[in-house]
Structure 1
Amino acid sequence: MKTVDEQKTVNAERTTGQSVTVPLNRGWWEKHGRTVVVWGGRLVLSVVLLVAWQLCAGRVFDLTFTSRPLDVARRLGDWQRDGLLWSNTWVTLKEVLLGFALGASTGAVTGFVLASLPTFYRVVDPFIVALYSLPKVALAPLFIVWFGIGLQMKVLLAAVTVFFLVFLNTAVGVREVDRGLIDAVRLMGGRRRDVVLKVVLPASMTGLLTGLKVAVPYSLIGAVIGELVASNRGLGYLISDAAANFDTAGVFATLVVLSVIATVLNLFVSLIDRRANRWKPLEGRK
């Protein structure tokens, strides 16, 4: 048995000889029900985990190592009233945003240009992979020698971490462009500029956006590593200071703030992804 909407589509196809998309008259739940279920499930899971943590702390786990959700909430409240939370969060957020912008922009441009030059890309590829394989925490002491312990060092460390992720994903996106599309544009008289702007650039957006999504948490990692190694401000400094004083609640409170920052940045990148992929068929969107 076909539904009413399916029957309308079939009748339209028989009349015109073409496939016609008929708007569906769906209710609010049919449109948003799945989203409500997903977010409801996330909320329930979060509550269950927090309650289990609260009940088990002090009974199953040692409070010295795990603290409790209520203690973490109290620590956040204390830091908020003292102004300690916002001042240090702003320092880290500034480092993350500047590092992410610098690393993402340079990585995207470099990846697009080098991947468009196949022979040159094959020459430099081993060197890029070797640099990417270096642990970023090992670069922190070198960056301190070069740039000091100020804001610049943390921004550049975050930018280097982001650069390689965006570069590699953008390069993959460019190198995997459908050759048939390129040949079709050339057969229609398109010049190299047309191929780049109308085929390669749109097709490589998937790789670029994947790189941006992956790079968001790594920009945080780069900035926090710099703060852990040498800093007297920022969320990394709060983690280091809390750990030195065996303040487990303080460590977890800082991790909560870092998680919120990463979530907000990921949502922002997801919005860009949706706008950039509006040209794709529905089944091709994530």
Structure 2
Amino acid sequence: MSSAPPDSAAAPAAETVPIERTWWERRGGTVTVALSRLALVVVLLAVWEWSAERWFDITFTSKPSAIWTRLIEWHQDGVLWANTWVTLEEIVLGFVLGSAAGALAGFLLASAPRVYRVLDPFVMALYSIPKVALAPLFIVWFGIGTNMKVLLAAATVFFLVFLNTAAGVREVDRGLVDAVRLMGGTKRDIALKVILPSSMTGMLTGLKVAVPYALIGAVIGELVASNRGLGYLINDAAAQFDTAGVFATLVVLSVIAALLNLVVGLFDRWVGRWKPLEART
């Protein structure tokens, strides 16, 4: 009688063969998007330059070549970098301070549902106040120095990060929390190993949304009362009817916003390494 073959004689499992992709197959989509963006910018600038003196009065619209000339002039006499550094310092400090306070407050308050329900209408009332209306009050409290602009930017950022972090905490899967409790997890385990990682998506969304508002808070403070910074440059250029100078300052602010968004995006990727690949896109 023949006996069944031993397990060791079973057919070996099929091996997984890695798919070899070319550089273009891996990076082609990203390169195409980047080139498309560059082409769009070039076309828009070319149309603007060509039509500025034909269709529009350059006194009001300026043109890319004049804006570039103004940036070169400010670079050569040091005005650009001195004022950019002042505004950049205010933006970064305000963003970090407001984000840290908003994330911490959102996590702690949303983890205590009853406390959050009590404070929610007051938080929304404060959030609804236009931040430009706070500038005169902040001047009275903190003067016209750097502290006023930093705190105004932080106040603008705080509510966005707070609300998004709190929403992330409140949307945590309660079944997962109950499962950790059944396995003997403590409140500390639940907070650090379940709620905190699950709420990161909301917090990161708040950080991304808050980047332009940090710029808005700092520049509003400079527009209201300042003798340096990019907001001061905008005021000074507008007072002299220097449209090219106003646009040049807006270009610098756009570059700062893009760089800050890039940093937040890199932080998002670093924090989200634990997520499945399809959840990172």
TM-score (normalised: structure 1): 0.93
1:159 aligns with 2:134: no
Structure 2: any 5+ residue segments left out of the alignment?
A: 1-10
Amino acid at match of 1:145: V
Match in the other structure for 2:47: 52
Deviation of residue 283 (structure 1)? Answer: 1.2
Q: For residue 8 of structure 1, what is the aligned residue in structure 2?
A: none
- Is 2:177 the counterpart of 1:182? yes
How many angstroms does 1:271 deviate by?
0.3
Give the structure 1 partner of residue 73 of structure 2: 78
**What amino acid maps onto 2:141 in structure 1?**
W
Q: Distance in 1 between matches of 2:94 and 2:208?
A: 15
Per the TM alignment, residue 24 of structure 1 is displaced from its structure 2 partner at its CA by 2.1
Q: For 1:137-286, what aligned pairs fall within 5 Å after superposition?
A: 137-286=132-281
Structure having the higher Rg? 2
Deviation at 1:21, TM superposition (A): 6.8
Deviation string 1:112-157 (CA, Å, 9 cap, x unpaired) is 0000000010000000000000000000011111111000100000
Q: Counterparts of 1:269 and 1:285 in 2: how far apart (Å)?
A: 14
Aligned in 2, Cα 1:23/1:198: closer, same or farther, shift over 3 Å? farther
Within 5 Å, give how 1:84-95 maps onto structure 2.
84-95=79-90
Q: Which residue of structure 2 lines up, in the alignment, with residue 98 of structure 1?
A: 93
Could you tell me how far apart the structure 2 residues matched to 1:195 and 1:16 are? 40
Mapped to 1, the partners of 2:49 and 2:182 lie a distance apart of 67
- CA separation in 1, counterparts of 2:135 and 2:187? 42
- Percent identity reads 71
Aligned residue number for residue 62 of structure 2: 67
The letter of the residue matching 1:156 is L
What residue identity is the alignment partner of 2:218? A
Q: Deviations over 1:230-283 (max 9, x none)?
A: 000000000011011100000000000000000000000000001111111111
Secondary structure in 2 aligned to 1:278? Answer: helix
Equivalent residues, number = 271
Cα separation, 2, equivalents of 1:229 and 1:236? 9
Residue identity matched to 2:197: P
**Who is 1:122 aligned against?**
117
Change (3 A) 1:132 1:92: same
User: What residue in structure 2 maps to residue 39 of structure 1?
Assistant: 34
* Distance in 1 of aligned mates of 2:38 and 2:19: 30
Quickly say closer, same or farther: Cα 1:45–1:167, change in 2 above 3 A: same
Q: Residues 22 and 203 (structure 1 numbering): CA distance in 2 closer, same or farther, change over 3 Å?
A: farther
Query: Partner letter of residue 170 of structure 1?
Result: T
SS at match of 1:58: helix
The residue aligned with 1:4 is none
Instruction: Measure, in 2, the Cα distance between the counterparts of 1:89 and 1:169.
Output: 30
TM-score, with structure 2 as normaliser: 0.94
